[in-house]
Amino acid sequence: MRKLSLALVAILVLPAALAAQAGTYPAMQPTQIAEREYNFALADFNGGTGLIFQWREGLGSPRLQFTGDFGIADFNGTNDAGLIIGGAMNYQMLRAGADLPFDMVLGGGLGLTIADGFNLLRIPVGVAIGHRFPLEGGFAISPFVHPRLSIDRISVDAPGGNISDTETNLDVDIGGNFEFNSQMQLRLAATLGDRDAVAISFAWTPRGLRR
C-alpha cells in the first residue's frame, strides 16, 4: 500500500516539480575564454524567474576558465524562493581562423537548485560555437549557439515520502554578445529544447585584463 501511495503521489507531484526546474536558464557562455568576467543576468524560465551572478576566471592558461554561478529564483504561483549554486570548467577548443571560422568552447559543470520541497541537481556538458564580428567604433557582435546535454535529478518532498527522478535532457542556447568596448558587453540568449528559457545580462571585464 505504501508503494502504491508513493506511486500515486509521484504521478501528481513530479510533473509540477519538473516544470519548475530553476537550473535551466541559458548558460550565457561566450565563445572566447575570458581571463576575468563578472556577468549579471535576469532569466525567465519554465516555472519562474531568477537573478544570476556569474564569475568567470582564467586558470593561468589562455585556454582554461572556471565559471561560478550564484543566484536566487522565484517560482510562479508560490511564495517560495530557491538558491542556485553552480560551477563549470571551460576549455577553448578552437579559435576562429582561415581553416575554420568559428570559436568553440567546451564546457562541463555541476549545478544545484535548492528550494523548499525540492532539490534539482544538473550535470550539463556542451559546446559553445560562434564567431566575433568587429564593427566600426570599437563595437563587436558575436552570435553563438550552445547545445548542452544534461543529466537532471530532482528530489521532491511529498506526503508519502521523498520522491526522486532522473532525466537526460537536451538544451540549445541561441543568442548573441554585443561588445560596447573591451570591458562592457550586453548578452542575450534563449534556451530551446526540453525546457524553454530566455535571459539578458550585462558583463564587465576589469580594465587591464585581456579577453
Q: What is the mean pLDDT of each run of 10 residues along the chain (211 residues)?
A: 38 37 76 94 87 94 94 73 92 91 95 85 95 93 95 82 86 95 95 88 82 51
> Hunting for cell 530551446 — which residue is that?
192
Burial class from Cβ neighbours inside 10 Å (0-12, 13-18, 19+) for residue 208 reads: exposed
> Is the pTM here over 0.75, yes or no?
yes
| Spatial CB neighbours of 103, under 8 Å, sequence gap ≥ 6 | 31, 32, 92, 94, 95, 96, 129, 130, 131, 132, 142
Architecture category of domain 2-204 in CATH = Beta Barrel (2.40)
Residue 95 in contact with residue 122, Cβ under 8 Å?
no
DSSP state of 3: H
What integer pLDDT is reported at residue 77 of this predicted model?
Answer: 53
Residue 112 in contact with residue 87, Cβ under 8 Å?
no
Residue 183 to residue 191: CA distance in whole angstroms: 26
What integer pLDDT is reported at residue 76 of this predicted model?
Answer: 64
What integer pLDDT is reported at residue 1 of this predicted model?
Answer: 44
Residue 41 to residue 188: CA distance in whole angstroms: 9
What integer pLDDT is reported at residue 57 of this predicted model?
Answer: 95
| Spatial CB neighbours of 2, under 8 Å, sequence gap ≥ 6 | 160
